[in-house]
Structure 1
Amino acid sequence: MSAPLPATTGDRIFATTLGCLPTRAISRAALSLAGARRRWLKNALIRAFLKGYPAIDMSEAAEPDAYAYDSFNAFFTRRLASGARPAPDDATALVCPVDGTLGALGDIEAGQLFQTKGVAYDVASLLDDSTLAARFTGGRYATFYLAPSNYHRVHMPSAGRLQATRYVPGRLFGVNPRCVRAVSRLFARNERLVSLFETENGPMALVLVGAFIVGGIHDVATGRVCPPHRRAARAQRFNPADHAYERGDEMGHFCLGSSVIALFGADVMAFDDVLAPGMPVKLNAPLGHCR
């Protein structure tokens, strides 16, 4: 198991302060503002964002002119230019599903994942399905954090066929590293979308975790999953033949940033030795290899 360090006092104060805010109301307002199409307003938002995150490289985007997008959200969820993230030639390589920062990664031990060092949560709670969780007994997992400056579309680590999705209602805690260190079982408590795929090497799940200020989660197969932020879980099954994805294909995106958790079945893959919590990763960079 490889996980970030425990929370500091500052982390706990930060997370507690955020937790006292009306997270849903603020997130709804943020989504509305991000979708505004008034030219002066969306340009002002984009200009302020680029000033706050000067490292953003618009030359990687399919549309490199930041002000050509019709809303801040369209800019924020911009697609990459063709060829910007080439996949490795090795057909056995599993790849990173996002641009972002690698969080915890390792083995699923006794049905649990590690959020931070010494803090675990169970797969059944994360997936909201104990039967499905059993399919990942003895498997592996990796968590990825998408910062505001990152590319915000989620892609396939390997080829697979979509079998089912499950929307799980929950809180909207922040998922930045400070909150991850401070809020127990955060990923199993936040709103999320669980997507189950069947691959040549067994089951794979991608969990898109909502968060504070995240205005929505979108799924390629079904469109907008949330909002609305529902009170009950919602499951949907698919004919796998109708929803086949190749490695690197887009499977969903966030409206504003969040986290993704990838789960793999037992004896499916081994992580590359160079990976460690806290390191930046890029879409389609090697994550590990199929066994």
Structure 2
Amino acid sequence: MLKWLYRFMIELTNHSFSSKMIAFFTKSRLSAILIPSYAKIYQINQEEMEKSLHHYETLQQLFIRKLKAGARPIDQTANSIISPVDAVIEDIGTVSENKEIIVKGKTYSIQEMLGSDSAAEKYLNGLFIILYLSPSHYHRIHSPISGVVTRQWSLGHKSYPVNQLGLKYGKKPLSKNYRMITEVNARGRNIAIVKIGAMFVNSIELTHPNDHLVKGEEMAYFSFGSTVVLLFEKDSMELDSRITAPMAIKVGERIGYLK
């Protein structure tokens, strides 16, 4: 019953009109009245923001805020892979022989997530990491490793919530939501960075200037909280011993090593 009710309520609100209205409001000067309460409710760390709170004229500007230089030190180990976002690591596991992953007890098709069997094939038996961003998090996405973008594409239209309730009761949001995939080749290894849109707001904006990514440099941002899925080829990544799920992590912290 709870599953049905949850999906029903999302379907009622998750349409283009409601999405456009919410996007319009968050970008309007009218939304500025909510900024102080938003910052308080979500306990946003104002000390690390590039600008003081009163400089943000809309909620949208606060959502996509930048941080002061040096606020997120980048692990400089030569072969390290870093977290691309401030987030909670929700799950870690291995892509099965059937090209599937299990997250919060629900099975997701990597083939569906990436859009084709050929795209999914290279990640067979590889590691996956799910990173969830809440509305309180810094929403800019940084490159987890230095490499070359070999392909970039988007899939899906609607977006359902990707919080714990969304993962449990939603319509497989990790593989059905609007998503933008960036595939990077680093030292001959492929890594898929799957950026998944959140409820109402699908906007994922790319900011990297060319196809060469540098570890720790900004590559995109979400207009609202969402999720990043990292996919690694088999035996290409060694997870750092301190990494577990669930756990909070920030941009620049080491999550593992490229083999």
Structure-1-length-normalised TM-score: 0.82
SS in 2 for 1:20: helix
Does residue 92 (structure 1) correspond to residue 79 (structure 2)? The answer is yes
- 1:195-246 deviation digits (Å, cap 9, x = unpaired): 1111114111111111213251111258xxxxxxxxxxxxxxxxxxx42111
Letter in 2 for 1:20: L
- Give CA deviations for 1:60-111 in whole Å, capped at 9, x if unaligned: 1122x11212322112101111111111232222111110111121211111
- Alignment check: 8 A CA contact 1:146 1:258 kept: yes
Separation (CA, whole Å) in 2 of partners of 1:123 and 1:144: 16
Aligned partner of 2:20 among 17, 20, 28: 28
Between the two proteins, what is the percent identity of the paired residues? 24
Partner SS, residue 96 of structure 2: coil
TM alignment of 1:157-236, pairs within 5 A: 157-221=144-208
Residue number in structure 1 paired with 2:40: 51
Give the unaligned 5+ runs of structure 1. Answer: 1-8, 223-241
Return closer, same or farther for 1:12/1:51 CA change in 2, 3 Å cut-off: farther
Residue identity opposite 1:198 in structure 2: N
Report 1:124-163 matches (<5 A). 124-163=111-150
Distance of 1:113 and 1:45 partners within structure 2: 39
Q: How many residues align?
A: 258
Distance apart, 1:59 and its partner CA: 1.2
User: Alignment partner of 2:70: what SS?
Assistant: coil
Q: 1:50 corresponds to which letter in structure 2?
A: A
Alignment of 1:73-112 (within 5 A): 73-110=60-97, 111-112=99-100
Encode CA deviations 1:133-180: one digit per residue, 9 max, x unaligned.
112122111111110000001111111111221111232111111111
Which amino acid is 2:50 matched to?
A
CA contact (8 A) 2:154 2:180 kept: yes
Does residue 285 of the first structure (1) align with residue 253 of the second (2)?
yes
1:273 aligns with 2:241: yes
CA RMSD of aligned residues (A): 1.9
Task: Report Cα offsets for 1:3-42 as digits up to 9, x if no partner.
Answer: xxxxxx7566444432333443222111111111x3xx24
Q: Name stretches of at least 5 consecutive residues in structure 2 with no aligned partner.
A: none
**TM-score under structure 2 normalisation?**
0.92
User: Which residue of structure 2 lines up, in the alignment, with residue 231 of structure 1?
Assistant: none
d(CA) in 2 for partners of 1:167 and 1:152?
19
Contact 1:101–1:144 (Cα < 8 Å) also in 2: yes
The correspondence for 1:70, drawn from 57, 60, 68, is 57
3-state DSSP class of the match of 1:88? coil
SS class of match (2:141) = strand
The answer to whether residue 76 in structure 2 is matched with residue 121 in structure 1 is no
Matched-pair contact (CA < 8 Å) for 1:140–1:266: yes
Distance 1:184 1:104, change over 3 A: farther
